[in-house]
Amino acid sequence: MDNYFKPPEPLLLDGNISESWKRFSQKFDLFSKATGLDTKEEGKQIACFLSLIGDDGLDLFNSFSCEAGKDKILAEIKKKFEDHCAPQKNVIFERAKFNTIVQKEGQTFDSFLTELTKAIDVCRATETSKDQVKTLDNESRLNAVRASTSRTESRTFNKPVCDKDPNKPCKSCGYKHKFGNKCPAAGKTCAKCQGRDHFAKVCPNKSERNDSHRNKVYKKKVNCVDKESSSESTEESDHEFYISAINSSGRSKNNTETMWTKEIWIKGKPITFKLDTGAEIAYTQDKCYIDVYGDPNFKLQCFGEVVLECKVKECVEKVPFVVVSAQSKIPLLGLQECLKLKLIKRVDSLNKPSVFKTLDDVVSQYANVFEGLGKFPTQHHITLKQNAKPKINAIRRVPNILLEPLKKKLYDLVSKDIIEKVDKPTEWVHPLVIVEKPNGDLRLCLDPKDLNQAIQREHFLIPSCDDIAVKLTNKKFFTVLDMKDGYWQVELDSPSADLMTFGTPFGRFRFKRLAFGICSAPEVFQKKNFEIFGDIPGVGLYFDDLIVTGATEAEHDQNLRCVLEKATKHNLKFNKEKIQFKKESVKFMGQIFSHKGVETNKKYVEAILKMPVPECKADVLRFLGMVKYIGKFIPNLSKITAPLRNLTRNDIEFEWTEECKNSFNNLLHLLTNSPVLTYFNSKIPIEIETDASKDGLSACLLQEGKPVAFASRSLTKTEQTYAQIEKEALAIVFAIKKFHYFIYGMPTKIYSDHKPLESIFKKELQPKVKLLHEGHLGIEKTKSHARKAFYWPGITVDIESYVKNCKICEKFSRKNPKQTLLQYPILERPWERVGSDIFTYADQSYCVLFDAYSNWLEILPIRNKSAEAIIAQMKPVFARFAAPDILVTDNVPYNSVKFLEFAKNWNFTLVTRSPEYPQSNGLAEKAPMLCVNVKEKILAKRKINEQHYNKNAKSLKPLNKGCNVTVLNNRNNVWEPAKIEKLHDSPRSYVLQDCRGNTIRRNRIDIKPSENPFKLTDNSFESETDNSNSTDSDVTPLTYT
């Protein structure tokens, strides 16, 4: 029978030898099995294999070098042929293909997994993490990357790669030796250039040494070694640094007169270092190191790296040095070390020439910014409140002398497209207010008090003087820009323009731009300005005034250019006549800003100084109002003004006493000598000084001994009865609250002249509330118990807060009271809302459908409680009566995927009740026990039932996503911590995560808000077994007997 099988053709080693080998190997295996050759002895199989492989294959076999004994194993011989004929795989390419493999559309997961497995075998993806962390050995150096032409595997990176011809002499020693062996020049010093690891006859700096006119260049390789390193490691390290020390030999002048050096103290000894900002590391000679620490006792001539504590003046830093055997007498200090010891400072650029020399330069370059009336890119819409009632006001009469200027002004505004004539009826008409300017021009404003009450304001934060002053720290150049007719640059849409209608003797007009007098105008204007200029550094915005600053002229001009460029882009205009250009001090927000700080406006001070001595209470109030406007510049203001404030009291008769006179004169003196408040700098330490008197509190915020802000206030009648130590403590509290904007998150020192406070603040107060709540009484009982023996300010709030945060009370607290009745809307037709439930009677399960409108009852027997069985029984019912609009059910099995798909296909809404709260589906729960109910009965008792129900019910506040709560465990009546994940679609139903990490759903009745943070814990009571996808434990099967 063996004669019937044809032996395989000889192996062809031409063309695609990989495919030829695979075909030959497969045919030989089939031939062996068919002829029974595979059952023969190993030697006969090898003889047959070599006989059939052909002459080329036999020659290839003779070229193989096999280990002893392996040439008599057929599998080993096949492996040799396999290794030779198998194509060389590009691992990088195969891995790239592996990373792009995705599951194709329609491809099964098993097929996709098989494809991945094959790709992993080819690209060896499991070795990727190892390859990523491979590094070169200390003996290896990668000099070149070449393409391999052999069929062997690519070289691994931990083997030396050499591009040297073994017949060529070594570049380090000049002799021929096998690469990888120890070079005779390794670790030796060149006699010519003093370099390491080469001999003088092959010195690369040979030509340079013969030229006496060139500078000497020494290249020192520094090997980073540990103290335990062996002297046998003479090859180059993978951590190499090159230090170039250039010494001038062509100058007669002493180099030390021009080089930068610095004396640094190390271990109490001064050492002079050369400052070299071009060096990557710092190095010191072995002699210097031995002088400081003694002989390092290293076996290698390259000593390695040491960390020395260096001191320059008050700066002490630990600096790493590389110890080398250098001939230079002065050790080197690198760039990073110079910066660390604060010996040098990087200057990014020299002072650039100013872009804008004069105001004329600004106007000439941006002439369009100072011409005409601007307009913001977007229109503004004024939103009114709901149920706003329009009102038409009568037209006010205008003095005869102002008629002609008014007419001229109106038509001038019409020509500028600011207002326009109105001929149609409008719901709103406002009176006009005319204000004469100092230059004789008229300003037209509205008196829209009725409209202001109906406008929904766009609340936007208006910056205070402190907000802007913080941005001016270290600024020296200031420019103030004024937006020309600021509000009129905001265009209104047509409906909003109708709201701006006003009456004049010449007819009705309406503003097409934002008018003065509108309550929302300041915030709208500030918001629009902030959206355009708010991101420019060094710029402060306050309505129509912009302050542009800079620490240098170049910075100032750059910021000013940004402002002007954005103004040009958005078609905004500035008033050329009101520009304060590049000054060291400017008037802004009624104060003087300069590089020194903030000062009072002398104009206001002079106005106060010219005020006469008060002769009545009204004069005193007027004077105090003026002083309070600049009160932040006056220290202890409340204490100084106390006698004057007493004159304003209704129960005291006005009498100008000597004490009042002294207070008045003292205020005038302080105004004329008011200090300059420095700008707040968050990088400078903060100090606060506080004081308290019998009449008021005062505080001062200081930085580097300079005042940043003053604050004071008077004491109330109750506070005036405090002991002095309490007043001093109150002053500290007042200062912290007043300066919260500055000191929040910053270390702050507070100075008080009351020494006892220092020891009092160090003591921890006795936890009185904890002792009162030791028995875990409720809030009211704890407060009642406390009031019998204690009192302190805020006692009620402290007790309520402590009891609410008590974890034990929260865990074992009572259930929530009944909630108010939540009624469904009145139904209009049958089968609009149907309830469904499952019950068991006489060992038979039933599904009940109950119509809420007609009280129609359908009882459907089911074989089991699965969704399939329920759907099978519901379909005939829905076919007769149509599907209901709303089906109210329990959860399982109605919340299954199949039932949800059934609800979607039959187009009805499924509403499930909260687990463990059957009351929410009382319609279906009571269905088995209902007999006959009529609509008239339900409607008659509906209102009465609601009133009775709500007597002891209470509305619970809705909860938000992410709130920390406690949820009632109905098995042990324990409130357990939980966290709301989301609000369920059903009313008063929430999806929560309990303390065991389970996702559960509960009604609001079983949830309480908690002040304690939510944490997952295993120390809980019985494990919760129900969740939104499991059988509700609160559904008790009904059994009828």
Q: What is the rounded average pLDDT of the residues 374-386?
A: 90
For the ranges 59-68, 291-300, 597-606, the one whose mean pLDDT is highest: 597-606
Q: What mean pLDDT do residues 723-727 have?
A: 90
- Provide the pLDDT confidence category of residue 153 given band limits of 50, 70 and 90: very low
- In the DSSP assignment, the letter for residue 86 is S
CA 611, CA 66: separation in Å to the nearest integer? 117
Q: Binning pLDDT at 50, 70 and 90, where does residue 1025 land? A: very low
* CATH 3.10.20.370 is the classification of domain 597-755: yes
Asked if 408 and 444 touch (Cβ cutoff 8 Å), the reply is no
pLDDT of residue 81: 82
> What pLDDT is attached to residue 215?
39
What pLDDT band is residue 210 in, cutting at 50, 70 and 90?
A: very low
- Strands of the sheet with 857-862, listed across from one edge: 857-862, 844-851, 833-841, 886-889, 909-912
Amino acid at 529: N
Cβ distance 873 to 849 under 8 Å?
no
Name the token pair of 779.
Answer: 């809030």
What is the predicted pLDDT for the residue at 907? 94
For residue 775, name the pLDDT band (cuts at 50, 70, 90): confident
Predicted confidence band at 132 (pLDDT cuts at 50, 70, 90)? Answer: very low
CATH 1.10.260.40, applies to 833-943: no
DSSP conformation letters of 483-521: BTTGGGGSBBPHHHHHHTEEEETTEEEEESBPPTT-TTH
Report helix, strand or coil for 26.
Answer: helix
Domain range summary for the chain, segments of one domain joined by +? 17-85, 261-290+300-341, 359-589, 597-755, 771-812, 833-943, 963-1009
* Residue indicated by tokens 């994940």: 981
pLDDT beyond 50 at 769: yes
When the pLDDT of each residue in the chain is averaged and rounded to a whole number, the result is 78
Q: Please tell me whether residue 419 adopts helix, strand or coil conformation.
A: strand
Q: What does the angle CA 259 – CA 260 – CA 262 come to, to the nearest 5 degrees?
A: 135
User: Residue 1028: which residues within 8 A CB-CB, separation 6 or more?
Assistant: 891, 895, 915, 991, 999, 1000, 1001
Supply 1023's token pair: 């494990």
Q: From the centroid of its chain, how far is CA 511? A: 43
Residue 295: its pLDDT value, please?
45
Listed residue (479, 583, 580, 468) closest to 530, CA to CA: 468
Any idea which architecture 261-290+300-341 has in CATH?
Answer: Beta Barrel (2.40)
User: What is the Cα gyration radius of the chain?
Assistant: 47
Coil, strand or helix: which one is 907? Answer: coil
What region, left, alpha or beta, does residue 705 occupy, with left being phi > 0 and alpha being psi -120 to 50 degrees? left
Nearest-angstrom CA–CA distance, 588 and 579 = 11
* pTM, rounded to two decimals: 0.46
Residue 1020 has pLDDT above 70, yes or no: no
Angle, CA of 217, 223 and 226, to the nearest 5° = 150
Rounded CA gap, 24 and 400, in Å? 120
For residue 1007, which of 1038, 1028, 983, 1031 has the smallest C-alpha distance?
983
pLDDT band at 820 (very low <50, low <70, confident <90, very high): confident
Three-state secondary-structure class, residue 445? strand
Q: How far apart are CA 411 and CA 418, in angstroms?
A: 10
pLDDT, residue 549, reads 92
CA 456 – CA 384 distance, rounded (Å): 5
Mean pLDDT of 583-592: 89
Distances (CA, A) of 65 to 16, 54, 62: 24, 19, 8
**CA distance linking residue 702 with residue 251, whole number of Å:** 56
Report residue 854: phi and psi, to 5°.
-100, -5
Strand 748-752 versus strand 686-692 pairing type: parallel
Biggest distance spanned by C-alpha atoms of the chain: 143
- Write down how long the chain is: 1041
Query: Is residue 235 pLDDT above 70, yes or no?
Result: no
Contacts of 874 (CB under 8 A, 6+ apart): 847, 849, 860, 902
The reported pLDDT for the residue numbered 178 is: 58
In this prediction, residue 429 has a pLDDT band, given cuts at 50, 70 and 90, of: very high
**Residues 88-100 pLDDT 10s:** 555 666 677 777 7
Cα–Cα dist 501/431, whole Å: 9
Contact 690, 750 (CB under 8 A): yes
Q: Per CATH, is 359-589 categorized as 3.10.10.10?
A: yes
* CATH 2.30.30.140 is the classification of domain 963-1009: yes
Residue type, position 947, single letter: Q
Phi-psi domain of 268 (left: phi exceeds 0; alpha: psi -120 through 50; beta: other): left
CA distance 395 to 326: 98
Mean pLDDT of 925-940: 62
Residue carrying the six token digits 């009828």: 1040
Q: CA-to-CA distance for 850 and 833, rounded, in angstroms?
A: 9
Q: What DSSP line would sit under 937-985, residue for residue?
A: HHHHHHHHHHHHHTTS--PPPP--TT-EEEEEETTTTEEEEEEEEEE-S
CA distance 974 to 360: 80
> Contact 374/573 with Cβ under 8 angstroms?
yes
Instruction: Please give the structure tokens belonging to residue 650.
Output: 């209704």
What is the average pLDDT across 988-1008?
Answer: 92
Strands, DSSP E only, in 607-705? 686-692, 696-703
Using the 8-state DSSP alphabet, how is residue 380 labeled? B
Tell me the DSSP string of 432-479: EEEEE-TTS-EEEEE--HHHHHHB-----PPP-HHHHHHTTTT--EEE
Alpha carbon distance, N-terminus to C-terminus of the chain? 83
Q: Pick the most confident of 250-259, 324-333, 627-636.
A: 627-636
Q: What pLDDT is recorded for position 123?
A: 63
98 contact partners, CB below 8 Å, separation of at least 6: 116, 119, 120, 122, 123, 125
Residues 983-1004, mean pLDDT to the nearest whole number? 92
Give, in degrees to the nearest 5, the angle at Cα 841 between 837 and 847.
25
Q: Lowest mean pLDDT: which of 31-35, 140-144, 273-277, 438-442?
A: 140-144
Q: What angle do CA 964, 968, 969 make, to 5 degrees?
A: 125
Runs of H (alpha helix) within 711-842: 717-720, 724-738, 740-743, 756-762, 768-772, 779-787, 795-804, 807-811
The whole-angstrom separation of Cα 626 and Cα 614 is 13
803: its two tokens: 């009891």
Task: Give yes or no for a contact between 309 and 267, defined as CB atoms under 8 angstroms apart.
Answer: yes
Q: What percent of the chain has pLDDT over 70?
A: 78
Q: Which of 978, 997, 1001, 977 is nearest to 989 (CA)?
A: 1001
**Cα torsion through 623, 628, 630, 634, rounded to 10:** 100
